Amino acid sequence: MPVIDSHKPGYYYALHRRHSDTYNPDQGVRSSASGMIVCMEHAGTHIDALCHQAEHLTLCGGVSVAEVEKNGGFRKHGIEEVPPIVGPAVLLDVPRLLGVEKLDLGYLISLDEIQACVRDQNLTIEPGSTVLVRTGNALRWDDEAAYLAGPGVSAAASEWLADQGVIAVGADTMAWDVIGRYDEEYKCELPGHLILLVRRGVYIIENMDLESLASDRQWSFEFVCLPLKFVGATGSPVRPIAITGS
């Protein structure tokens, strides 16, 4: 599983109790096993909480980091505050628009391309809906270096999507933005994170598998994404699903 350096080791599972440890035929036929999960919040398919990013040490809504950031997590904007995301969603297939299998490494998806996908796929972005962007980067999943160097969505496109009133966005990439690309206008890397999480209160879902939806040309569907309520956490693993009409 590709994991960015700041979120390693990513995921680890170990059994702390085995069937062979608990089985005693003199006491009955049943035995038990159970384990322990060690998981970074931002490994695998996950959703970002609003406390994940700050601008000049200020969170979404003008909340000071100093007032809410504690050793045990955040007192405000933690993942437990993210509501169940259940509602309409659309998939924007950028490689299909451009006639390619997947976008190049480091490719920056423009606002014009996002809007062209909406028109070409005959879609409407409703307020309160979720917009998913396919880049084809999931095809690089088994090559960590290539996957982490994948494409991303431009700041202008992030601004426009927020203007449509979406509750969340998602993509088949590690970081929605292009990792390592500095934006001069916003004075940071990952400007989409700044725009969406800090300035506009829009959640970001990352490392999504959008290939089946794209191959079936399912552009519009009901979407369900339920974060785990880890109090004070900056993100949560999720298993999002699309409910289609076929």
- Residue 106 gets the label, from left (phi > 0), alpha (psi -120 to 50) or beta, of left
Q: Buried (b) or exposed (e) across 171-202, using 16+ Cβ within 10 A? A: bbbbbbbbbeeebeebeeebbbbbbbbbbbeb
User: Residues 46-89: pLDDT tens digits?
Assistant: 999 999 999 999 999 999 999 999 999 999 999 999 999 999 99
| pLDDT on residue 218 | 98
What three-state secondary structure class fits 190? coil
Assigned fold of 46-243: Glucose Oxidase; domain 1 (3.50.30)
**CA–CA separation, 31 vs 19, rounded Å?**
5
User: Residues 18-44: pLDDT tens digits?
Assistant: 999 999 999 999 999 999 999 999 999
What three-state secondary structure class fits 65? helix
| pLDDT on residue 245 | 83
| pLDDT on residue 9 | 87
Cβ neighbours of residue 167 closer than 8 Å, sequence gap 6 or more: 85, 87, 128, 129, 130, 202, 203
Domain range summary for the chain, segments of one domain joined by +? 5-39, 46-243
User: Residues 122-173: pLDDT tens digits?
Assistant: 999 999 999 999 999 999 999 999 999 999 999 999 999 999 999 999 999 9
**CA–CA separation, 51 vs 79, rounded Å?**
8
In the chain, % of residues over pLDDT 90: 95
User: Residues 178-227: pLDDT tens digits?
Assistant: 999 999 999 999 999 999 999 999 999 999 999 999 999 999 999 999 99
- Residue 85: burial class (beta carbons within 10 Å; 0-12, 13-18, 19+): buried
Higher model confidence: residue 22 or residue 92? Answer: 92
- Residue 43: burial class (beta carbons within 10 Å; 0-12, 13-18, 19+): buried
| pLDDT on residue 246 | 63
Tokens of 154: 């431009």
pTM of the full structure: 0.95
Given a contact cutoff of 8 angstroms between Cβ atoms, the answer to whether 60 and 75 are in contact is no
Mean pLDDT (the chain, rounded): 97
